[in-house]
Each structure stands twice: as structure tokens, then as C-alpha cells.
Structure 1
Amino acid sequence: MKFSYDYIKSGNATCVLEMGKERFEFYPTFHSDALGDFVSYLASVHPLCKLSWKEGAFHKINGGITWETGTYLLRWELKRDFEDLEIKITEWQNPMIDRKGDSQLIRKVLEAKCNFNEFVLCVVKELDRVIKQRGILGYRQEWQGYTFPIDGFLDLKYACLYKKPFEITKKNNGTSLEAELNLLMEKMD
């Protein structure tokens, strides 16, 4: 299994998802916060991602998320069932771009099951690579209107590394910058 989010430039990116022998490429654009929505969505279905200072910080996202990819909209739906994750990706014409096309045309791109923890780990390793390669401000500069999804990333990374929620609440109801920076710099194996 492989998840990559690369070639981030001028508000465009390439996302590659490999499952078994199948390879899928997607090209989200800056018209949607593709990576931010995806990370928040994944954190919303992860049982350990609660961001302890505010219960339910990642609200349950029902019905999936949508990426704009130019002439098409790409819909991601994730359903976790204990160790299994069902991933369903569908595509349809973007009515804002292709007004002459059939807006009801829906094409199933992927419907597969995989191990939930393996998928999350693949995503977290890729996010770790992206942020260390580009930086927080560098990501925003390339993605234009959206910032790197640092909150969801740190919560998912902590869950992968320590198998428990990220407990960062302090007496003053703030967060520990030191704990966040240490987690950010920690290596993923």
C-alpha cells in the first residue's frame, strides 16, 4: 500500500494511491483544501484522534469529502470497521467547469478494503515527508489559499507512534508547544 501527495506547485498536486496491484492518480487543485480536508476526514474516523483539549475537535464528517480536480469532482468516502477501512472514490463532472456536460455522470474510481492502521501509517509517513520537505509556510506558498493541516497531522502521527490520544492539555487550558515541536520533528519508521 502506498499513499503519496507530491508535485505540489502553483495550487496543483498529484496524489497517488496504490492498493495491491492497482495504482490511481488524482490531481487536486487549489479550488478545494484537498489535503486539509482529507487529513481532517481521516482524523474524524480515527478513534484516537480527539485532541484532548476539546472533545470532538474533529467533527464526524458524514458523506465524505470532495476534491476539485479541474473538470471533475472527486468524492472520497472512508468507513472504518475496527481493523478494516473501506475506501470508496467516485468521480463526476464539475458543473462549474463543464456546463455542457452531463452533471449526473458518476464513475466509480475505487471501492476497496484495506487495513485501517496500515493506511493511516502510510498517510502519516507521507505527511511527515511533505512537511519536512516543504515546511509549513512553504506548503502554503505553493498551495495558495490553504495551510498545511498541522492539527490533524500531529494528532494522527501521535496515534500512530504511541497508540493513544495526543494528551497536550495543560493547567492553563493551552497546548504544549514543546510537545508539538518534538512530535513534529520525531522520525517515522
Structure 2
Amino acid sequence: MKFTYKLNSIGWANVELEIDDVRVYIRPSYLSEPLVDLVRAVESLIPECVEPDEVKNMVIFSWDSEPAIHRWNLEIKENGKLRIKIDVFKDGIETLPFETRIDKECIFNDFIHEIVLTLEAILSEHGIVGYRKQWYGNEFPISSFMQLKHYLSSKSKFPIMINNPDEWDERFQSDLSYELEILKIKKLQ
């Protein structure tokens, strides 16, 4: 399996997904938030990344590829597998007929690993502020990146301290020094 996401000119990205013998190329634009949608969708499939009542077995989101729309369907299967189905609506209208570009299963943790490597490559090339400039003023999904990277290394929930738990003024706090350590770009095992 292979996944890459590279920024290309202002507000455009080149994305490649390859599973087994099937390869898909997508060129999403800033009219949607493709990277944010993808990483938040993946987070919602991981019990360690979201609250228990927010865990999903399937998520659907769309990328605007002007004029096309690519609709992603991610579904958790048995034995740690993830089904990835991407349909394209060539005219950008999701009620019209579509063409399925890929409908394959892969190992879910392998997909997460590829996403984290891609996010690290984006940070390494553009930085956080540079990403915002390159992506037409939209922010890099930094907290999602940190959660996914932490999950890959520990298979546990991101360490969050809750002050005043179960009170109306509950306050969440994470360790900034740990977060800065996670941001250091290094190869995952």
C-alpha cells in the first residue's frame, strides 16, 4: 500500500493511493479541506482517538477536485482491515451517476502509517505556517497528526489531563513539551 499527498501550487494537491494493483490519482483543491477530512475520518475509526460515543465503523466524506468530486468511503472490516472505496462524480454533482475508482481492503494500521508519513513529509517541506500559505489560508491538521502519530507508537489514547472531571467547568490539558517532541520529524518504525 502507498499513500502520498503533496501540495502543488496554491490551493491544489496531488494525491496518490495504491492498494495491490490498483492506483488512484486525485487532485483536490482548497474548495474542500481534503487533508483535514481524511485525518479526522481516520481518527473517528480509532477508539483511542475519539470519545467512546464518537467511534464509527464507517465514514464518508468528499473532496472537491474541480469540477469532479471524489467521495471516500472508509469502513472497518474484520482482522484489522480497512475497506477504502472512492467514487468519482465527474461533473461534481453527487446525485448523478458515478464511477468507482478503487474498492479495496488494506491493513488499517498500514494506512494510518502511510498517512502519518505523508503528514511528516508535508511538515518537513512546508512547515506549519508555510502550509497555511500554500493551502490558501487553511490550517494544517496538527492535533490530528499528533494523535495519529502517538497512536501508531503506543496504541493508546493521547495523554490528556482533565481538571475538574464530571463538573460543568471541566478543563482539558495536554503536555506541550510532549507535543513538541511528537512534532520532531523522525522516521516511524
- Normalised by the shorter chain, which TM-score bucket? 0.7 to 0.9
Identify the structure with bigger relative contact order (alpha carbons < 8 Å, sequence gap 6+). Answer: 1
The amino acid that maps onto 1:142 is: Q
For 1:104 and 1:126, locate their aligned partners in 2 and report how far apart those are by CA, in whole Å.
32
Match of 1:65 among 61, 64, 82: 61
* Residues 1:86 and 2:78 aligned together: no
Q: Is the 8 A contact 1:43 1:58 kept in 2?
A: no
Q: Is the 8 A contact 1:67 1:74 kept in 2?
A: yes
Tell me which residue corresponds to 1:124.
116
Tell me which residue corresponds to 2:10.
10
Tell me which residue corresponds to 2:160.
168
For 2:53 and 2:139, locate their aligned partners in 1 and report how far apart those are by CA, in whole Å.
18
User: Which deviates more from structure 2 when the two are superposed, residues 31-40 or residues 143-152?
Assistant: 143-152
Task: Please state how far the C-alpha of 1:187 moved relative to its aligned partner.
Answer: 1.6
Task: Please state how far the C-alpha of 1:186 moved relative to its aligned partner.
Answer: 5.0
1:149-160 to 2 correspondences below 5 Å: 149-160=141-152
Query: Structure 1-normalised TM-score?
Result: 0.86
Task: Please state how far the C-alpha of 1:24 moved relative to its aligned partner.
Answer: 1.1
Task: Label 1:45 to 1:185 Cα distance change in 2 as closer, same or farther (>3 A).
Answer: same
List runs of 5+ in structure 1 lacking aligned partners. 96-101
Q: Is the 8 A contact 2:71 2:86 kept in 1?
A: yes
Tell me which residue corresponds to 2:39.
39
**Count of paired positions:** 179
* Residues 1:133 and 2:125 aligned together: yes
What CA RMSD, in Å, does the superposition of the two structures yield over aligned residues?
2.2
Task: Please state how far the C-alpha of 1:117 moved relative to its aligned partner.
Answer: 0.8
The amino acid that maps onto 2:177 is: E
List runs of 5+ in structure 2 lacking aligned partners. 164-170
Tell me which residue corresponds to 2:25.
25
Task: Label 1:143 to 1:56 Cα distance change in 2 as closer, same or farther (>3 A).
Answer: farther
Percent of residue pairs bearing the same amino acid type:
30
For 1:59 and 1:67, locate their aligned partners in 2 and report how far apart those are by CA, in whole Å.
22
The amino acid that maps onto 2:21 is: K
Task: Label 1:115 to 1:8 Cα distance change in 2 as closer, same or farther (>3 A).
Answer: same
1:87-106 to 2 correspondences below 5 Å: 87-92=84-89, 93-95=91-93, 104-106=96-98
Query: Structure 2-normalised TM-score?
Result: 0.86
Q: Is the 8 A contact 1:2 1:19 kept in 2?
A: yes
Task: Please state how far the C-alpha of 1:60 moved relative to its aligned partner.
Answer: 4.5
